[in-house]
Amino acid sequence: SEIYLQGLSGVVPPFTTDPAGLAASARELLGPGPYWYVAGAAGSGATDRANRAAFDDWRIVPRMLTDATTRHLGVTVLGTEMPAPVLLAPIGVQSILHPDGELATARAAAELGVPFVLSTAASHTIEEVAEAAGDGARWFQLYWPDDPDVCVSLLSRARAAGYGVLVVTLDAWTLAWRPHDLDRAYLPFLRGVGTAIPFSDPAFRAGLDRAPEDDLPVAISRWVRLFTGTDRSWDRLDFLREHWDGPIVLKGIQHVDDARKAVDAGVSGIVVSNHGGRQVDGAVASLDVLPDIADAVGDHVEVLFDSGVRTGADVVKALALGAKAVLIGRPFAYGLAHDGQVGVRHVLRGLLADFDLTLGLSGHRSPAELSRDALRRAGAGG
């Protein structure tokens, strides 16, 4: 209604609320290198497309006369209260998209009370982003470095700076074959990465003869060596538990057996995610594995979801298929590219309003009322 009211005075939104239009205008603003850093996917892009197509395979079946005028969107996940079941996914090196990078994102998220997840590859320090977030809820995403001192240093700094939940990304222990980035020799990323979190970390710097500012190529090589190329096994999770006393969430789960292993490992949550189609080309759509995983783990862990969420209807579908909350990736990055903090807020507000309306108009008063009964497979008369 705010948009319609402003329309009476001839004021229209600062940029489009349509997901495809948002990506298209970000492309014009950013130019090809930074744009493809965000939009790119692994290999042929098959998984990225599958993520979207999977949402189209489900249709919402609206219910009438359910007294849905007043709705309560809030949920609590792992002790974090949120105004709606939506978080901002970790996205590295956001300074590629806007000079304020993660500071702008954290401020926009805090304004709306939406939690954000700070990437290990963020372009501002853990402490700077915490300060920008103020009282806003924040989680920390770990790319697990191959040096225990660096790992412990990052975890203790994140804990001290008020990050409540640790999200350990499992599916990107080395970078996939990403043609758009490879064609540009990762230049946008490498140009932005000089300020990324590891470079400011005392334990990371202690392993260098010269400060990263004085010899960036050597620092980047150490960074690449520590943060890529090392896969691990389930028994190594104990190390993280020893050094993180809050909830731990594993991001990148796609197989039911891995979800069960996560339960056995005693973690608090999982993110059913395929990294937005950026890792295994040809992998199954993230939404397609969600229902079986949700069934398999029941209430033993919190199930979060990402990869392909673009609209309020997508949020409704993911929740109905078993997610407690969803993470949004590329759309907020495009908002950041458009107008920093204001842009992220604009995208988020649009998504939350869309979710609110779709939830209510389909006959639900809260996320908890959503179940598979709310959906039907397209093609089955849909």
Give the interface with ligand FNR as residue ranges (CB under 6 A): 37-38, 51, 89-92, 119, 121, 141, 169, 251, 273, 275-276, 278, 306-309, 328-330, 333
Instruction: Considering the complex, state which of residue 307 and residue 341 has its C-beta at the smaller distance from ligand FNR.
Output: 307
User: Whole-number minimum distance, CB 38 to ligand FNR, in Å?
Assistant: 4
Cα separation, 25 vs 47, whole angstroms: 23
Instruction: Considering the complex, state which of residue 175 and residue 263 has its C-beta at the smaller distance from ligand FNR.
Output: 175
72 labelled catalytic: no
Instruction: Considering the complex, state which of residue 40 and residue 136 has its C-beta at the smaller distance from ligand FNR.
Output: 40
User: Do residues 338 and 284 touch, judged by C-beta distance below 8 A?
Assistant: no
The annotation status of 98 as a binding-site residue, yes or no, is: no
Instruction: Considering the complex, state which of residue 322 and residue 329 has its C-beta at the smaller distance from ligand FNR.
Output: 329
The annotation status of 228 as a binding-site residue, yes or no, is: no
* C-alpha distances in Å from residue 313, one per residue of 35, 45, 62, 135, 292: 26, 23, 11, 30, 20
The annotation status of 37 as a binding-site residue, yes or no, is: yes
In the three-class reduction of DSSP (H, G, I as helix; E, B as strand; rest coil), residue 334 is classed as helix
User: Whole-number minimum distance, CB 308 to ligand FNR, in Å?
Assistant: 5
The annotation status of 92 as a binding-site residue, yes or no, is: yes
Instruction: Quote the tokens at residue 262.
Output: 């996560």
User: Whole-number minimum distance, CB 100 to ligand FNR, in Å?
Assistant: 16
The annotation status of 178 as a binding-site residue, yes or no, is: yes
Among residues 98, 275, 346, 364, which one is catalytic?
275
Tell me the H-state helices in the chain. 2-8, 19-30, 32-39, 46-56, 101-112, 126-133, 148-160, 179-183, 187-192, 197-200, 202-206, 216-227, 237-243, 256-264, 286-297, 312-320, 330-361
User: Whole-number minimum distance, CB 12 to ligand FNR, in Å?
Assistant: 26
In the chain, how long is the greatest CA-to-CA distance?
69
b/e per residue, 22-47, with b = 16+ CB within 10 A?
Answer: bbebbbebbeebbbbbbbbbbbebbb
The annotation status of 48 as a binding-site residue, yes or no, is: no
User: Do residues 365 and 67 touch, judged by C-beta distance below 8 A?
Assistant: yes
Cα separation, 16 vs 14, whole angstroms: 7
Instruction: Considering the complex, state which of residue 85 and residue 329 has its C-beta at the smaller distance from ligand FNR.
Output: 329
User: Do residues 47 and 41 touch, judged by C-beta distance below 8 A?
Assistant: yes
Give the residue numbers of the binding site for glyoxylate: 37, 143, 178, 275, 278
Give the residue numbers of the binding site.
Answer: 37, 90-92, 119, 141, 143, 169, 178, 251, 273, 275, 278, 306-310, 329-330
Could you list the active site residues? 275
